[in-house]
Each structure stands twice: as C-alpha cells, then as structure tokens.
Structure 1
Amino acid sequence: MANVFAVHSVCRSIAAFLQGSYPASVAELPMPPCNFEVLSSSQMAGPLDDASRVGLYLHRTSVSEHSRAQRPGRITDARPAPLHLDLHFLVASWSRSAHDEQVTLAWTQRQLHLHPMLDFALLTAEAAWAADEVIQIVPADLPAEDILRIWATLGAPYRLSAAYTARVVRLDADQPPPDEPPVLVINN
C-alpha cells in the first residue's frame, strides 16, 4: 500500500516503462522517435508541436468495485483500512504524420498487452510502495462517445487514443500520531 503520491507514481511509472522499452526499430524498420509523457488537462488541450508524442492523461479515478463490498473502517484499532482506487486514463498519440501516430499507438497498445503488470521494481519510489505491490493495467471498455466527450471537454481536437484502467491502487492513511507521549532523550 502506498501514500497519496501513488496516483501520480502509477502514471509516471507507465510512461517511464514505455519510454525505457521503446525500440529504435521493429522488424528491421525504423521506429519514429517518440516521447512518452504524463500530461495534464492543459497539456492535452495545448497546440501540437513537431515532436511525436504518446501522452498518458488521467481523466478519472474511482473507488475500486472490488473493495466497495468491504465495510470501511479499520484494519486494527490503530490503523484505518486503505482506500482502493482504479485509475482511468487515455493513451493518446499525436504527431504531424499519420504513420507516426498510428505506429506509436499500436506499439504502445501491444506493449501494455504484453506487460500488463507494474510491480515494485517498475513503480517510482515517491509513493513508498510495499514490496508486494502490483498494479494491473487493462484495456477499458469506454464507448467512443465518452472518449469524444473527454476531448470536447478539454477543448482540444480529437487525437488518436485508447482507454485503459490501472487497478488496484491502495492508498494507506497517513500514520496516526502515537498515543504515547514523546520520550525525552538526553545525550551526555
């Protein structure tokens, strides 16, 4: 389980994994240069530049359906139960070339299909992940109308995109202050 930085950590971890595994060529054909980035709403709506880019845009979070049946409360008297979240994001590809957009998105989708898990070794450290933590990345069944609505809400022209869900991100409560009074230590 992790802290509140986990949401951004998952997004950064996916982008870093894709960037680190992006090949220079496939089947002896050169791959277009591409940067993989986590993007904010304003960056998604921004103008195109000449760089080919695959952006990860977190458009929604939800309480995991698998944890909804659990009664909220405490694991122990001292520790509240973690919050289980699913992260819903778009993977969008853009470039000045249709070829580059299509190739980079197809490669990204294949890579996420072949490597649908992020484990402790692939997750960025700022979230203080547990060693047994695993995040699953699955294609999301998001209707085209919903995807188009996201783009319209951003005020941006539609870009080639696919929807995914990262699940289950478990957020721990901050450590409660100890019940015992602090102990004064005097060093001589």
Structure 2
Amino acid sequence: MANVFAVHAVGSSIVTFLRNTYPTEIGGRALPECDFELVSGGQMASEGEERNRITLFLYRLTVNEHSRQSAHLRGSGNGVGPLGLDLHYLMSSWGMAAQDEQVALTWALRQLHEYPVLDASSLTPDAGWASDEVIQIIPAELATEDVMRIWDALTPSYRLSVSYVARLVRVDPDSDAAQFRPVVAGRFAYGGAA
C-alpha cells in the first residue's frame, strides 16, 4: 500500500518504463524517434509542439468495485482499510507522419502486452510502495462515443488512442488522522446551582 503520491507514481512509472525500453531499431529497421510523456488535462488541451510522442493521460479515477467493502472488513482497529483505486488512462500517439504515429503506438501496445505488471522495483519510490505491491495494466474497451466525448472536451483534434486501466492502487489511510479524528459534535450539560 502506498501514500497519496501513488496515483501520480503509477502514471510516471508507466511512462518511464516505456521511455527506458524504447529501442532505436527492430530487426535492422530504425524506429522513429519518440518521446513519452505523462500529461495533465491542461497539457492535453493546450497546443503543444508537433513532434513524435506518446502521451499518457489520466482521464478517470474510480474506486475499485471489489475493494469497496472489503477495505473496511480487513482494516485496522478503527475500521478504515486502504482505499482501492482504478486509474483509467488514454494513451495517444502524436506523429508527424502516419507511419511514425502507428509504429510508435504499436510498439507501446506490444510492450504493455508483454509486461502488464509493474512491481515495487519498477514503480517510482516516492509513493512508499510495499515490497509486494503490484499494479496490473489492463487494456480497456471504450465505446467510440466515449472516446469522442473525451476528445470533444479537449482543444486538439482527435489523435489515435488506446485506453488502459491500472489496478489495483491501494492507498493507505492517514495514520495520524486515525489517531486524532476530527470533532464533529459535542455535548454540554448545564446544571442548576444548589
């Protein structure tokens, strides 16, 4: 389980993994130069410089449906267990030419197909991951209408995209907050003087 930096650490780890494993050639054929970036909604909506790149955009964050109730059942003495999250990413290809765009995205898809699990050794350490922590990266099917809604909300025109879900990101409860819960009500009694 990790701290509040876990969500950012997962996206950063995926991008770092792809960047560090991207080869210059395959089978004697050169691959196009390509950058890999984790981007925010503001960065997606702004006009960036045109270059070959793969972006990873966290477009949705949900509480994992299987861990909602079980988190409270296996929690500590105060009844609060870890928060289980699913991270929904849109991986998009920004190419100067059709071949550059398609080759780089196909390579990234194959890489995540071959290595669909990030363990503690490949996750950035700032989230304080447990040594047995693993995050699964699973392809997710998005309806064409949902993809178009995402792109309609952004300024740039549609780019070739694929969606993924990273699960299960477990965020520890704040241990300090568990010891000192906020006061939400108080009772006062007034008695008459004798």
- Amino acid of the residue matched to residue 163 of structure 2? A
CA contact (8 A) 2:46 2:155 kept: no
What's the Cα RMSD here?
1.9
Is 1:111 matched with 2:111?
yes
CA contact (8 A) 1:48 1:95 kept: no
Q: Deviations 1:157-177 (Å, cap 9, x if unpaired)?
A: 001100000000000011226
Residue aligning to 2:157? 157
Distance 1:11 1:134 in 2: 14
Q: 1:133 to 1:154 in 2, by over 3 A?
A: same
Q: Deviations 1:26-53 (Å, cap 9, x if unpaired)?
A: 1111010111110011211222423211
Distance 2:45 2:11 in 1: 18
Q: 1:69 to 1:6 in 2, by over 3 A?
A: same
Residue aligning to 1:166? 166
Residue aligning to 2:24? 24
1:29-44 to 2 correspondences below 5 Å: 29-44=29-44
Residue aligning to 2:56? 56
Q: Deviations 1:92-137 (Å, cap 9, x if unpaired)?
A: 0102111111001100000000000000000001100000000000
Q: 1:143 to 1:77 in 2, by over 3 A?
A: same
Number of aligned residue pairs: give it: 180
Residue aligning to 2:130? 130
- Amino acid of the residue matched to residue 59 of structure 1? Y
Distance 1:48 1:3 in 2: 32
Distance 2:40 2:71 in 1: 34
Q: Which runs of 5+ in 2 are unaligned?
A: 180-194
Residue aligning to 2:144? 144
Tell me how far 1:72 sits from its aligned partner. 3.0
CA contact (8 A) 1:78 1:176 kept: no
Residue aligning to 1:120? 120
Residue aligning to 2:13? 13
Distance 1:177 1:164 in 2: 33
CA contact (8 A) 2:71 2:80 kept: no
Residue aligning to 1:65? 65
So what's the TM-score if we normalise by structure 2?
0.87
Distance 2:71 2:127 in 1: 25
Tell me how far 1:156 sits from its aligned partner. 2.2
Structure 1 counterpart SS, 2:70: coil
Structure 1 counterpart SS, 2:136: strand
